Structure 1
Amino acid sequence: MRSINKILIKVSFVISVLLFLSGCETTNAIPYKASSSNIATMQTALADKGNLSVGNVNIAKDISLMCRLNGDIIVYPGKSIPEYVKDAFLEELIVAQKYDATSRKVSVNLENVSFSSITPANWEISAKVSSDNGVSYPISVKHEFDTSWSAAGACENVANAFGPTTQELIKEIVSNPKFALLSN
């Protein structure tokens, strides 16, 4: 009986240590970097049109960004997904010199935001883009990226892939034939 108690104590200790070592982690993405391709597309599409401003970026529903029970994916410290996308779109417009706070406002309603950290790992985003002039259109992106066997590595890859996914989202916004109509 005494040896069974010792074994139970050792097993309990090992389980406790493993639980402690595998506790939740929060994974942060890298900062957004403007895409030269998106900037050039904006400049071309709006060459003989007006500039734009960024309106609201909303998310249609609450989403869970829990990654493999490893913790939440944080797209950037202190920013929600809508704030990240709004700041990225604003940065692209400013760098393209197509931003004017008094111009037509472009809003983005993120209808679906999800990711998979297993092969094929990807972010999927669908959204509706609209202007205060009434023009609107749907967009969607699926950005694939490498994953990892370990939860920590896979979740870090998920976080790091959000910036390139946002670049692709903005690419879909600005390369759509209706983009130039948003400024009318």
Structure 2
Amino acid sequence: METITYKEGLSPNLNCQAAGPVNPAPGKTAPQYIEEALKSELYSNDFYAPESKNRIKAQITELGFSSAGAANWAIGMHLASDSLPAGYDTNIKYPFSSSFIADYACRNVAEAFAPAVQQLVKKAVTAPEFQQLIKPSGLAIR
């Protein structure tokens, strides 16, 4: 698997109301966290084939949240591989509880990131296109 990239114009810097930067994955950037979650899913489901020349490419196409009102994470990812060069898109909106107090609302943003990413990865690997993505013999992850 190649390193996850960002869609042009998309920023990895996430800020929450007056509370400042959001660090949803301490010690990692959001894309690093998403990449590790995707790799973990591929390994744990035996989709990893070290001898394969089929490389997966992932691009984050949407990464944002709303911490007020109908609070949610919106995350999108485009997946492609040598066997499916056109690839496919996976998008989720993951709802979570909001708060009128900025510190609490921003804490909820950070706490909801991991389950939002889990939902994104699950949707990506259960999509009908995923089987074509991993053909002919699994994915080689570097």
Q: Shift of residue 56 of structure 1?
A: 2.4
Which SS does the other structure have where 2:40 is aligned? Answer: helix
1:175 corresponding residue in structure 2: 126
Q: Partner letter of residue 11 of structure 2?
A: D
Q: 1:105 aligns with which of 55, 67, 73?
A: 55
Task: Compute the RMSD of aligned alpha carbons.
Answer: 1.5
Structure 1, unmatched stretches of 5+, are 1-53
* Equivalence map 1:12-31=2 (5 Å): none
Which SS does the other structure have where 1:118 is aligned? Answer: coil
Q: Shift of residue 127 of structure 1?
A: 2.1
The 8 Å contact of residues 47 and 134 in structure 2, kept in 1 or not, is answered as no
Q: Shift of residue 135 of structure 1?
A: 4.5
Q: Shift of residue 157 of structure 1?
A: 0.5
Structure 2, unmatched stretches of 5+, are 136-142
Q: 1:70 aligns with which of 16, 19, 22?
A: 19
1:127 corresponding residue in structure 2: 77
TM-score, normalised relative to structure 2? 0.84
Would you tell me which structure has more helix in proportion to its own residues? 1
Q: Structure 1 residues 101 and 159, CA, compared in 2 at 3 Å: closer, same or farther?
A: farther
Q: Structure 1 residues 102 and 155, CA, compared in 2 at 3 Å: closer, same or farther?
A: farther
Q: Does 1:140 align with 2:87?
A: no
Q: Shift of residue 63 of structure 1?
A: 4.2
Aligned length: 131
The 8 Å contact of residues 56 and 106 in structure 1, kept in 2 or not, is answered as no
Question: Percent of aligned pairs with the same residue?
Answer: 32
Rounded to whole Å, the distance in 2 between the matches of 1:101 and 1:75 is 31
Which SS does the other structure have where 1:90 is aligned? Answer: helix
Q: Does 1:162 align with 2:113?
A: yes
Rounded to whole Å, the distance in 2 between the matches of 1:138 and 1:149 is 34
Q: Partner letter of residue 18 of structure 2?
A: L
Q: Partner letter of residue 41 of structure 2?
A: E
1:59 corresponding residue in structure 2: 6
